[in-house]
Amino acid sequence: MKLVLIGSGNVAKTLAVLFKNAGHELLQVYGRDENKASDFCEMLGIPYTTHWQQINPDAVLYIIAISDSALPEMGRYLSLPGKLVVHTAGTVSKEVLSGISDRYGVLYPLQSLRGSAPVTAQFPFLINASNPPDIELLINLVSSVGADFQIVDDEQRARMHLAAVWVNNFPNLFYRIAYNLCEENKTEFKLLLPLISETALRMDGTDPAKWQTGPASRGDVGTIKAHLDMMKNHPHWQQIYSILSEEIKKGS
């Protein structure tokens, strides 16, 4: 499939590698920042441009992978009548693209793509399009890279983005707290890595409630109190620990 990618950040870079490796023809990448665009385009042998006027008109699909806040302005720069145009954002309505083409949709990679390439080669997409035949086109694209997918409306996609915050941003905050506890404690944070992996890798898609362990789940008041005492210099962590222990006890 002939593709043009608008954007030169981590999402654009990851999708470029993914689709190129699956044999799709990346006609062009548009990037505002020439250094960022040339960085991966030259490595992958993909032409790039920094000028809106030079966007290649021959693609089947235009994928806009830019920041959420820049999406509403796109209609000022881009007009692609008759072409399928999608964005990659978690919480922005697909309608934001309606000024660019009457064929628009969403191709949202449900993965944290900050920094280098993801550890897991595979991640799923949440997709949708204003015209039903274009949904088929997006299904073909994601299937060609072996990716899982679900067709979801704007509301469902926003709620999956919320769920992503729960399983990524908040656990990462807790890894940071554990890291700081280890630093204070002169113990090695790396000793926790097998536990961190195990906790994540035993998820199988069924209700994680069956894996809930720890002092709160067994009502071990003595250990909870001892833990709170150990954090007496960190009142915020005490507060978070207490609220979460209550939530676990309630069997949320």
Identified binder of a second copy from the candidate list 70, 76, 77, 200, rule CB under 8 A: 200
E-strand stretches of 12-65: 25-30, 48-49, 61-64
Instruction: Name the minimum Å distance from CB 231 to a second copy.
Output: 7
Cβ atoms 115, 140 nearer than 8 A: no
Q: Is 9 in the site for a second copy (CB under 8 A)?
A: no
Q: Are 77 and 97 contacting, i.e. CB atoms less than 8 angstroms apart? A: no
Q: Is 131 in the site for a second copy (CB under 8 A)?
A: no
Which one, 80 or 248, has the nearer CB to a second copy?
Answer: 248
Stretch that binds a second copy, among 71-79, 80-88, 134-142, 158-166 (CB under 8 A): 158-166
What is the C-alpha R_g of the chain?
22
Backbone angles phi, psi at 79, to 5 degrees: -135, 120
* Residue 64 and residue 74 in contact, taking contact as beta carbons nearer than 8 Å: yes
Rounded-to-integer distance, Cα 40 and Cα 21, Å: 14
Residue selected from 56, 93, 199, 238 as contacting a second copy according to rule CB under 8 A: 199
Measured from the CB of residue 76, what is the shortest distance to a second copy in angstroms? 21
When asked if residue 223 is in the footprint of a second copy (CB under 8 A), the reply is: yes
What one-character DSSP code corresponds to residue 150?
E
CB environment 27-57: b (16+ within 10 A), e (fewer): bbbbbeeeebbeebbeeeebebbeeeeebbe
* Ranges within 179-198 binding a second copy (CB under 8 A): 179-182, 184-198
Binds a second copy by CB under 8 A, chosen from 73, 214, 219, 221 = 214
Residues 61-90 that bind a second copy (CB under 8 A): 68
Q: Which is nearer to a second copy, 76 or 176 (CB)?
A: 176
One symbol per residue from 138 to 157: x for binding a second copy (CB under 8 A), - otherwise; what is it? ----------x-x-x---x-
